[in-house]
Amino acid sequence: MPSQERRQITGFSNPTIKRLRSLREKKHRKREGHFLAEGLRILTEALEAGKTPKLLVVVEGAELHPLARDLEAATFADGGEVIETSEAIIGKLTGKSNPQSIVGIYADHPVALADLDRDRSGIWLVAQALRDPGNLGTILRTGDAVGAGGLILIDDCVDPFSVEAVRASMGAIFTQQIAQASWPEFLAWLRAGEGQLVGASLNTDKDYQSVRYEAPTFLLIGNEAQGLPEAYEQDCDLLVKMPMMGKADSLNAAIASAVMAYEVLNQRRTS
């Protein structure tokens, strides 16, 4: 039977600490199949979504919040390990000078494109060549808010399981399905069933509120700096844009996703 006692670690050179710290790098996350999440709120969201950490790290000597005690009990119950260590070491794990007092290590959970059930939701978010982890995490959070089926990442996107993306998702990393594919793979999968592909683009005069969206709607957002490739726009069923009344010619990718997703949601709520 697994131990129900915390293991104390005091040294920065401890092999476990070194291994956990390496999860800040994508190549090590891929090798281990695990990622790091920090903070009571995010870890509690994970627990509510049925995800328990493989390993829980808490600050030594601190009085745990009742929710943190629940996390510790759930970790032990699922055969996980709990480590007690200093705030300075937790800071090294998270890369923050003022770290949260609790960190969890979780198994990553990418989903194969073929395993996605498009009937799971009438809204899906699709991001192409996204580079900013904050944008990716915020898009996941938007997906959770509108009840999206998940996020499909196209081409070479930033890692959704990076510390920064997980932090920005505010727990949505645990509620949203995440798949990755090349554009030809995604297009072949999409066209094998129902689904309207809607791209956000400056190369159209069609206002995003002037059209009726068909379920399931796949909302496609392009790279933050370059937008969607022209060939990808040509493959869309519909291109729409949001009115820009000032000097800016476009919205931030995460904000554009949220604006479009809520327009689709509002149409469904009022139809």
Structure confidence by residue, pLDDT tens digits, 208-244? 999 999 999 999 999 988 999 999 999 999 999 988 7
Shared domain check, 185 and 232 = yes
What is the layout of strands, in order, in the sheet containing 150-154? 177-181, 150-154, 123-128, 217-221, 196-200, 238-240
Residue after which a domain boundary falls, among 51, 76, 107: 107
Total domain count, the chain: 2
Handedness of CA 161, 162, 167, 169 (dihedral sign): negative
CATH number at residue 16: 3.30.1330.30
**pLDDT band of 2, cuts 50, 70, 90:** low
**Residue at 23: amino acid letter:** L
260 pLDDT exceeds 80?
A: yes
Q: What would the two tokens of residue 144 be?
A: 């959770």
Question: What's the whole-number mean pLDDT along residues 161-174?
Answer: 95
Helix (H) or strand (E) holding 93: helix 87-94
Same domain, 248 and 125: yes
Compute the CA torsion angle 150, 153, 158, 164 (nearest 10 deg): -10
Which of these three, 46, 75, 107, is where a domain ends? 107
- Name the residue range of residue 211's domain: 113-270
